[in-house]
């Protein structure tokens, strides 16, 4: 940035502790203040206290702060306050006035939800998230109806601009959230293209954890005399809390949580999820499995929430499923475990969550569920807390079922000791005499009746082949494996496809081909590791024969992908064909194109695109010159 073109503002890090500044001290619109009161906000965080007044003055801002310092409210609150005032002067409008760019769809959804909460008292006000990996139809319909706030990932925002479905001619306010993460994921060109498509007269807020040269270049080119505001993170976690993570896909989270609860001693438990609907859904599922569980969220009346927390404190319930807002200020000493059932998108929320356990000198356990695409959030948590989060293996199915059987046996013994069985004994004796069946058969039938449709034994989460699991756990397979170097996701296996960097394959092409031809959702597709002549993809371990057959006929960029389970084969020897190594599994080479689907490398209108956690290593294809376009991540 040019000299004398910006101010540097050190945020008052001690402001939150001193309680010297309140949201009511800012000149905010009354409707926004009312919404902040609804969600329990009184005192701004340091970044909020330093940023909100500057943005309310209409100045551009560069905010330097670690993830989790409260950036969302720092830019959303003044933006909404300004929109409310403009509506008073100019009348209501359905034009898009606020655009927020975020690196991932999870963050885009979180930011959109925050905007919706803060705009709860603003009439005829719509917030619309747009992101890759979801159908265009609902997003197009929402844009046609009009959305004053659009929160999106760069790839999908460009698609809508190109289609003419997103009109930014009346844009008043632009936010780049986690700008360094967007650039690290390869969105630099996309971000500049979007910025160049917006009006010159707008206010811009750029937030980043670091300030690399590329960020400074964007700020210098597109921001007008920005104030630079810096907040240093003081995030810490309790020394009595053990932190672990499990890599597990969404459909298997409930089984993973059940395994842990059935094999570890626990007292009180809090499970954190992202949405209000998810609190009720998870609580109901836990109750159906025999746990004493309850939900709290912002829609539940305060008195009921207080009664629920009191029931947790008294031991009448053991598991509380909560959102971050609903659990604000919750203090229950008996909490032994905190489950991050849905990974938080900021480190501050993570620290607040796990701070509910390990209190009053007691030990606590914090367990985090994450998918491969959320690995960058785990890295952010470890960096901010300066503590490692250890990888956890789920308890084996044999251990879980042995405990279930022992527990059921104990229940039988306890019932025989404490209950009057005379009436039931006579009933069973009479039944045996009349039907001439063994007593064991009658007892087994009564057990089935007692289970009320609930399975007594837990079924195994689909498993990757043993050799893959060994490689994932860091054990060699005896023949120079070049397989995955990170832990496998529970329920997934690693598959190999015969296209890679040499074929200039792009992540979006892989996701689109596999999702469309294999009948999978993009959420079922885990990590993608593109290598020189092949690609490793994490998919469900229990793909059906029909899915495997359909995927074997699929082409990407004109090349058959030959999908098969990865067996960690050696690299091709010199002189051998690296593009077509000998394969197991599907050996047939389908020469006819009938019934095949070919996927190109690009295509912005494709409904499935993939985002990454940043662990992939991409190099230029062989022979690429200095001017060649670098591969980049498209959401």
How far is it, in rounded angstroms, from Cα 460 to Cα 277?
28
CATH number for the domain running over 241-391: 3.40.50.300
Burial class (CB in 10 A: 0-12, 13-18, 19+), 383: middle
How far is it, in rounded angstroms, from Cα 14 to Cα 570?
57
How far is it, in rounded angstroms, from Cα 415 to Cα 387?
47
Position with higher pLDDT, 452 vs 230: 230
**pLDDT 10s digits, 12-37:** 433 334 347 888 889 899 999 999 98
Query: Longest Cα pair distance anywhere in the chain, in angstroms?
Result: 99
The pair phi, psi for residue 205, each rounded to 5°, is -125, 125
DSSP of 556-601, one letter per residue? ETTEE---EE---PPPPPTTS-SSS---SS--------TT--EE-S
Q: Which residue has the tokens 């969550």?
A: 353
Distance of CA 190 to CAs 177, 275, 505, 573, Å?
14, 30, 19, 40
Predicted confidence band at 269 (pLDDT cuts at 50, 70, 90)? Answer: very high
Q: Fold for domain 7-230?
A: Rossmann fold (3.40.50)
**pLDDT 10s digits, 300-317:** 887 888 899 899 999 999
Question: Which residue, among 329, 371, 330, 342, has the nearest Cα to 278 in the 3D structure?
Answer: 342
**pLDDT 10s digits, 144-185:** 999 999 999 998 999 999 999 999 999 999 999 988 878 877
Asked whether the domain spanning 241-391 has the same topology as the one spanning 7-230, the reply is: yes
CATH number for the domain running over 466-599: 3.30.70.330
How far is it, in rounded angstroms, from Cα 47 to Cα 10?
9
Q: Could you state, in order of their start, the residue ranges of all structural domains in the chain?
A: 7-230, 241-391, 397-451, 466-599
**pLDDT 10s digits, 362-389:** 789 999 999 877 888 888 888 878 889 9
> Are residues 233 and 16 in contact, defined by beta-carbon separation less than 8 angstroms?
no
Strand partners, 585: none
pTM of the entire predicted model = 0.48
Cβ-based neighbours of 104, under 8 Å, separated by 6 or more: 131, 153, 373, 611, 635
Inform me whether the pLDDT recorded for 451 exceeds 70. Answer: yes
pLDDT the model gives residue 470: 63
pLDDT the model gives residue 329: 63
């Amino acid at each position: 940035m040019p000299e004398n073109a910006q101010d540097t503002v050190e945020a008052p890090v001690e402001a939150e502790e001193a309680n010297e500044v309140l949201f009511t001290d800012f000149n905010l619109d009354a409707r926004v203040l009312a919404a902040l009161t609804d969600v329990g906000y009184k005192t701004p965080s340091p970044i909020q206290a330093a940023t909100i007044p500057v943005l309310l003055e209409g100045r551009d801002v560069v905010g330097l702060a670690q993830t989790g310092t409260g950036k969302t409210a720092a830019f959303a609150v003044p933006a909404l306050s300004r929109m409310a005032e403009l509506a008073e002067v100019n009348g209501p409008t359905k034009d898009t006035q606020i655009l927020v760019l975020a690196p991932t769809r999870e963050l885009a959804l979180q930011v959109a939800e925050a905007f919706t909460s803060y705009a709860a008292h603003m009439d005829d006000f719509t917030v619309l998230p747009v992101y890759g990996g979801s159908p265009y139809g609902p997003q197009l319909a929402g844009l046609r109806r009009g959305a004053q706030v659009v929160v999106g990932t760069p790839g999908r925002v460009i698609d809508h601009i190109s289609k003419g479905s997103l009109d930014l001619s009346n844009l008043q306010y632009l936010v780049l959230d986690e700008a360094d993460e967007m650039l690290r994921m390869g969105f630099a060109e996309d971000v500049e293209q979007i910025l160049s498509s917006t009006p010159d007269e707008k206010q811009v807020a750029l937030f980043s954890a670091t300030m690399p040269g590329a960020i400074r270049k964007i700020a210098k080119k597109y921001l007008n005399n920005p104030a630079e505001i810096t907040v240093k993170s003081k995030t810490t976690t309790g020394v009595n809390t053990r932190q672990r993570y499990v890599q597990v896909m969404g459909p298997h989270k409930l089984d993973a949580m059940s395994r842990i609860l059935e094999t570890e001693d626990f007292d009180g438990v809090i499970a954190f999820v992202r949405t209000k609907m998810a609190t009720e859904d998870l609580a109901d599922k836990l109750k159906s499995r025999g746990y004493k569980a309850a939900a709290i969220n912002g829609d539940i009346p305060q008195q009921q929430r207080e009664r629920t927390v009191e029931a947790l404190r008294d031991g009448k319930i053991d598991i509380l499923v909560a959102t971050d807002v609903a659990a604000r200020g919750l203090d229950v000493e008996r909490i032994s475990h905190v489950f991050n059932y849905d990974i938080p998108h900021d480190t501050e929320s993570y620290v607040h969550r796990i701070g509910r356990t390990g209190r009053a000198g007691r030990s606590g356990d914090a367990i985090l569920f994450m998918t491969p695409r959320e690995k960058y959030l785990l890295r952010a948590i470890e960096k901010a807390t300066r503590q490692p989060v250890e990888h956890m293996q789920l308890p084996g199915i044999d251990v879980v079922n042995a405990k279930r059987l022992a527990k059921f046996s104990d229940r039988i013994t306890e019932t025989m000791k404490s209950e009057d069985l005379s009436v039931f004994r006579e009933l069973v004796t009479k039944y045996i005499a009349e039907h001439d069946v063994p007593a064991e058969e009658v007892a087994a039938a009564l057990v089935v009746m007692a289970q009320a449709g609930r399975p007594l034994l837990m079924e195994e989460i689909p498993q990757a082949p043993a050799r893959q699991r060994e490689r994932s756990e860091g054990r060699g397979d005896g023949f120079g494996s070049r397989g995955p170097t990170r832990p496998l996701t529970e329920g997934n296996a690693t598959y190999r496809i015969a296209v890679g960097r040499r074929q200039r394959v792009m992540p979006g092409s892989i996701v689109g081909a596999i999702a469309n031809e294999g009948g999978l959702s993009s959420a079922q597709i885990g990590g993608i590791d593109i290598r020189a002549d092949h690609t490793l993809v994490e998919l469900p371990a229990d793909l059906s024969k029909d899915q495997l057959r359909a995927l074997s006929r699929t082409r990407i960029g004109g090349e058959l992908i030959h999908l098969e389970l990865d067996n960690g084969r050696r690299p091709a020897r010199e002189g051998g064909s690296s593009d077509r190594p000998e394969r197991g599994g599907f050996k047939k080479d389908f020469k006819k194109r009938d019934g095949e689907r070919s996927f190109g490398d690009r295509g912005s209108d494709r409904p499935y695109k993939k985002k990454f956690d940043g662990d992939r290593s991409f190099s230029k294809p062989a022979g690429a010159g200095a001017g060649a376009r670098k591969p980049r991540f498209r959401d």
